Chain A
Amino acid sequence: MSALLPIAVGVRDLTKRYDQVEAIRGVTFAVAAGEIFGLLGPNGSGKTTTLECILGLRRPDAGAITLDGVDAIAQPERARRRVGAQLQAAALQDKITPRQALKLFAAFYRAPAGIDELIGRFALAAKADAPFDSLSSGQRQRLFLALAFVNRPQVLVLDEPTAGLDPQARRKLHQIIAGVRAAGQTVLLSTHDLAEAHHLCDRIGILDGGRLIAVARPADLIAGGATPPRVAVKTARPLTAAQVGALAAVVNCQPREDGWLLGTTDAGRTIVALARLLEAEENPLLDLQIERPSLEDVFIELTGRAWSPPAPEDE
């Protein structure tokens, strides 16, 4: 986060308990104006609880939250006026149309966005007057996103905005969110999709077991990780463990069905050494790929656990 930009969302020492269970513990982060910040974490990590506390849907047991400079705990209604939000597990009445829903929500704001403008922007024109129960999941998500924009917010809070969407609808939503950044608005989103977080977010915070264990730019997180790059190699005749283990810069090697996966501190030196070995042995190279470390590797390093696959419902 740039020190020059004002803080759009500030969260300090946020704690929330449900009965005896601490859903989030001492979560602290800040989102700069104009930034896309992703809360990344597996199911049950506390992403939704954190966002619900920020939106005033749940009262935290401890901590402070500011939204666009407003104390969101002391003045939740005032804070909500500055925020647009899209929630998980939200719905509308079966027979309400997108146009009616947008008009209804717009009526509660002093200077709302134009309804037709939102319908056009979120590609809802074809279904603007169709009942909610006839919309596809992608159209519903776009409608909720449009509702989040109805008050021309400076800060957008999106909880798993692409959950349950097909790849095409997902790409469309990614374009919309990227457009938000271009317009200078701030986005705080939660996701358990590593690729989405990497692709969309300027910075990410990794939540695990209710604690924020890392906050950084995706590239910095990966670069700062201990996982080395890997070289996947496939040859016409199998190589031995002794041969690949002796290659330059290789730190570990794993056999694969038709080749080897080599962990290396310097992929270039390893590939040069491999090429010399194969040439000397007249062993043709069938395939070679360099695998860079990913956010998943970073997560495994940080938590000691494998990344859990996305589930239909989170938290």
Chain B
Amino acid sequence: MDTRVILSGLYRYLLLTLQLNFRSKQALVYGYLMPVFFLLAFASVFRSDTPLLVPEMGQILTITILGGACIGLPTAMVAERERGVWRRYRLLPVGTGTLVAGTLAVRIVIVAGAVVLQIGLARLIYGTPFPQHPVQAAGAFLVVTASFLGLGLLVAALADDVPAVQALGQCLFLPMILIGGVGVPLAALPVWAQRIAGFMPGRYAVDALQRCFNDSRGLAGAGFSLAALAVIGTAAGVVGAGLLRWDAGRRLGRAGRLGIAAALSSWVAVGAAAALTGRLQPTLPYDTAYEDITDGQIADISYADLPGDNELVTRLAPPFKDGRAPAGMAEFTYRLRDWPPGRLDDPGQSIRNLLSVASIADLRADPREAEMARVVFNELQRRYTPDQLRHVLAWIILRPDDGTVIGYAPELGLPLHAPTRLVRVRCALYAQKYLGRLLGKIRD
């Protein structure tokens, strides 16, 4: 059969399904009214945001996509299967994969409509700015939606009837809403819940979408989140497509249980990868100051997988003999003490600036990078009380994107620019190395 005929059939299927969707009161209520309700609910809860709703748009859109893909898609598919609609579709001279692809494409359009409606209404009612990176936002939407559609396909394959879809869908929806960083902001969750959220795709969906709204770097730092969504969505989609049933009478049995296990193993793999790469550090509220950091949060910081002191990244010289800098470092030490960005009234920003110095030297591969990092550490200990230093270093680790960083320091002999995006990453790593030493968790 030629491709043109298949595409023409799928095009008509897409148009007709959309038309029927807009004729269904149930689909309109769940697909469009509920997302509007969530938008209004978030706006009434997070009234202090300026501009309103910007930090929550990732969550709001994730809820909409989650509902449309993980509950809306399987409800429609299973209801049609129960009625025998899919039996009739199967008589068409096209492969079942083609029809499933058509169904998923329709759902992407339906969910996209709800997302655009939310963004438009947020702008209209609350003046919420559009995403800073609209093209990346569209890309993130597609990745998130595709991932959740994979989960929706799995639910459609596993559920015997519509009530079972509701039960299975809620098993996905509710944990992500309550402790997965989707309904309740990650920063407002206890540390144990934040860790569990690292095993759920909702957290990564919120991260990817939110970055497109108010992170100047856009999706630049969202590689892990996008990969996590791809892994979880692909695993669920492959299992779901393999188990998909066209007849209401057929039961899955053991194959269903194995399918669930295979799909869930991708969640475990993603969570384990996040933990091993230090991505499950506690997240703090949006406007947390270093004074708000608690001893419990400091104690929860992990020092696993830090690069070694003699490795390529974040080198750190051993303590100087008698605590005095070697002869070649005297000039640098002297200048650092009087360096204005390190002597601001705000200790948090001052320490972040001093860490930037070590980071620039590291990124520009200065021959004295390890010694410079040691001088910075000595200077921090000389200037700040241990308690203050612990809190600021923890704040930099937990909120690497807060405040500002410096990209070059010619007055300290570091005239070459380093990318500030990388300086932030290095600052957090040096902060971990310093804090670990202060707490005795890393041997100096």
Contacts and interface: CB of A to CB of B under 8 A. Distances in A.
A87 B88 contact: yes
Given A90-B88, A96-B16, A103-B16, 6 more contacts: A104-B9, A104-B13, A105-B92, A108-B92, A108-B94, A151-B93
A95 B80 CA distance: 12
B312 to A, nearest CB: 56
B2 interface: yes
A179 B275 CA distance: 71
Contact of A93 (B12, B80, B90, B94): B80
B16 A77 contact: no
Interface in B67-108: 80, 83-85, 87-88, 90-95
Given A89-B87, A91-B85, A108 B6 contact: yes
Contacts, number: 75
A57 B246 CA distance: 9
Interface residues of B, number: 28
Main SS at interface, chain A: loop
Q: How large is the interface on A (under 10, 10 to 19, 20 to 34, 35 or more residues)?
A: 20 to 34
B253 to A, nearest CB: 10
A92 B87 CA distance: 10
A17 to B, nearest CB: 14
A147 B95 CA distance: 19
Main SS at interface, chain B: helix
B9 A108 contact: yes
B20 A107 contact: no
B11, B90, B91: most-surrounded residue (chain A CB, <10 A): B91
A103 B20 CA distance: 14
Nearest to B11: A107
The 9 A-B pairs with the shortest beta carbon distances in the complex, nearest first, are A108-B9, A107-B12, A81-B93, A91-B83, A90-B84, A107-B9, A95-B23, A90-B88, A91-B84
Contacts of B95: 77
Contacts of A104: 9, 12-13, 16
B84 A100 contact: no
A107 B6 CA distance: 8
B20 A109 contact: no
Contacts of A105: 92
Contact of A80 (B83, B85, B92, B246): B92
B6 A96 contact: no
Interface of A: 55-57, 77-78, 80-81, 83, 85, 87, 89-96, 100, 103-105, 107-110, 144, 147, 151
A56 B20 CA distance: 28
B317 to A, nearest CB: 70
A95 B28 CA distance: 14
A262 to B, nearest CB: 48
A87 B87 contact: yes
B385 interface: no
A85 B94 CA distance: 15
Contact of A95 (B1, B13, B24): B24
A85 B93 contact: no
B88 A91 contact: yes
